[in-house]
Amino acid sequence: MDNSRRLVLLLCLAAGMAVTPMANGQDREQGRSMVISRNGIVAAESPLAAQAGARMLERGGNAADAAIAANAMMGVVAPMMNGIGGDLFVIYYDAKSGKLYGLNASGWAPKGLSIEFLRQQGFTEMPRFGVQAITVPGVVDGWQKLAERFGRKKLGEDLGPAVRTAQEGFPVTELTAGFWGQSVELLQKDEAAAATYLPQGRAPRIGEVFRNADLAWSLQQIGEQGRDAFYKGAIAKKILAAMKSHGGTMTAEDLAEYSSEWVEPIATTYRGWTVYELPPNGQGLAALEMLNIMETFPLGEYGFGTAKALHAMIEAKKLAYADLARYIGEPRGQKLPVATLLSKAWAAERAKRIDAEHANCKVGAGEMRGGSETTYLSVVDREGNMVSLIQSNYEHFGSGMVAPGTGFALQDRGALFNLEAGTPNALAGRKRPLHTIIPAFAEKGATRMAFGIMGGWNQSQAHAQFVANVVDFKMNIQAALEAPRFSKYTFEGCDVAMENRFAEKERRELAAKGHQIELRGAFAGSVVGGGQAVLRDFAAGVNYGASDPRKDGAAVTELPVE
C-alpha cells in the first residue's frame, strides 16, 4: 500500500468510519461514491424528494423540516408506497443534547373493528385490502409533533414543495411506473382510486406527467390548519363519508382522538457499536436480536458473502423472527418480554440452535419461563441533527381505497393483525398492529449513523446485514447499501431469496446445507428492499450520504448559503 492510500485509510479509521481499501481510484466494488459535505445531506428514494429536503435546509430549516419536506414529496411522486393515508416512525438525534428521540406515529384500529365483527362478516383471517383493513393514518399527526418539537419552519412551509409538485405534475420515473402498473386491478375496484391514479384508464407510463390536484388541496389544508384539518376538519369529513359508503366502522372519534407518541428507542451493542431501533409495535427488536445472535459468530473472519457467514446470518434471522412472531405486538395493555429478547444471554442460548452444517427448516420461538410498500429517508443537517424516517401505506396503494376529493390512498395496516384472541397481535379496537416499518440509528465514538432499508418483513434482516457490512466487513455506507443481500420473507421453511451477485460456489455450499435458494437479479429491490443512509463524523464536522441503487433516489447535499 503506497503512502497516499495508507494516509486515506488511517484518516477514515481515525474518524470511526469503516472503509474498503481500493487498488486504485477506479478499481472498487461499489458503483457510486458517497456524498460528502460539511453541509446537510438528504438521502431519499426520489431525487425530487431529496432536493425538496436539501432546499429546506438551504432556507434555514433543520433536519426535521427537511425530513418532513422530503417525506411529503415522496407521497406525491411515489403514491403507491407512502402518503398521508399511511403511518410513520422516526428516530431523531438532537445534536445539542446528544439525545435520541423516537416517534411512533402508527395508527390504531377503529373502535368498532373487532374479531367478532369480522367473523360475523365471514372473515376467517384479516382482510388484506378494502375498508376493513384500514386503520387510522398516523402520518399527519407525526409530522406536526416532529415539526413542533424540533423543526424551525411552519408546517405549511415544509409542505410547500410537495403542494406545488402535486399541482404542476411530475414525470413518472422507471421504478414508480413499474409498481403503478402492477396495481391497476386493485385501483379499478374503487371508483375514487381509479379516478385519482388511472387518469386515462391506465397507469401512467415512464416519463408521463402526473398531476394530483386533490392531493395538493389536502396538503394545503394541513399546511394551513395543521393536524386538525386531517383528523377533525374537511379531510376527516371526506374520509368518514367514504368509510360509511363502504361499510367501514371508523368514526369521527377514532380520528379526532388519535395521537402519535414519543417513545424511548431500544438498543443493543454490536462489536463496539450501539445500534438503536424503536420498541414494539414495530419489528425492530428482531434486528437487534438477530445482531446479538450474529455477534456469537466471527463473521469478519469468515468474510463477506461466504457460505459460512451467510449461513450464520440466515439462521440468526429465522430464530429472531420466530421470537418476534410469538411474543411481540402492541405494548399497551399487555406485558411484552422485550428485555429478555434483547439480552445477550437469550441470544447465546438461541445461537446454540444453529447447526453449522444444516439449515433449520422448522424454527420455533424460544421457550420463555414466567406485506410491502414503504419509503425510507435519512437526513443530517450542518449542525449534526439527524433524522431516520420511514413511512408506508403497507402494500401498494394500501387498501386500494381513496376518499373522493382527497387525492391519497388509505393504508391497509390492519391486515397485519391476526384473529387469534389472546395472542399479542390479535385485533382489537383502538389497538395498533405489529408493524413492519422501522427506522434505525447507530453510533460509535464520535460517529453517528441514521439508516434504514424498506420492504415488509425484509427490514430487520436487511438492517442486520447493513450493520454487519459496516462493522464486520469494513464497508463504507454506500458500499454497505450496494452489497448483495439475502431476504427470507417467510417465518418457516428453508427458502431464502438471494441476489445473483453472491458467488455461485458459496450458493452451492449453502444449498448443500439445505438452504432452498431463490435466485434473483443483481439489484432485486422488490425483494431485498432499498435503503438510504447518512453518517456524521462529529470530530471532523463532516457528513456522508448514501443512496441504494435499487431505488430511483439520491443523496443530495445542500449548497452553502450565499
Catalytic positions, written as ranges: 374
Report DSSP letters for 154-208, one per residue: -HHHHHHHHHHHHHH-EE--HHHHHHHHHTHHHHTTSHHHHHHH-TTSSPPPTT-
What's the N-to-C CA distance of the chain in angstroms? Answer: 41
CA distance 402 to 499: 35
Which residue in this structure is represented by grid cell 465514538? 445
Torsion of CA 453, 457, 462, 464, to 10 degrees: 120
Distance CA 324, CA 327 (A): 6
User: What is the Cβ-side half-sphere exposure of residue 224, based on CA atoms within 13 angstroms?
Assistant: 11
Spatial distance between the Cα atoms of 388 and 379, rounded to a whole number of angstroms: 7
Phi-psi region at 247: left, alpha or beta (left = phi > 0; alpha = psi -120 to 50): left
| Residue 133 region by backbone torsions, left for phi larger than 0, else alpha for psi between -120 and 50, else beta | alpha
> What is the rounded CA–CA span in Å between residue 318 and residue 491?
7
Nearest of 2, 30, 176 to residue 475 by alpha carbon: 30
Q: What Cα–Cα distance (Å) separates residue 153 from each residue in 101, 167, 226, 545, 561?
A: 19, 22, 13, 23, 17
Say if residues 457 and 372 touch (Cβ distance below 8 Å).
Answer: yes
Torsions phi, psi of 453, nearest 5? -140, 120
Task: Judge whether 499 and 477 are in contact, CB under 8 Å.
Answer: no
The residue with cell 481510484 is 25
Report the DSSP pairing between strands 170-171 and 87-94: unpaired
**Looking at the DSSP assignment, which residues form a beta bridge with residue 92?**
101, 387
Cβ-count burial of 434 within 10 angstroms (0-12 exposed, 13-18 middle, 19+ buried)?
buried
Are 130 and 397 in contact, with CB atoms under 8 Å apart?
no
Specify burial of residue 364 (Cβ count, 10 A radius: 0-12, 13-18, 19+): middle
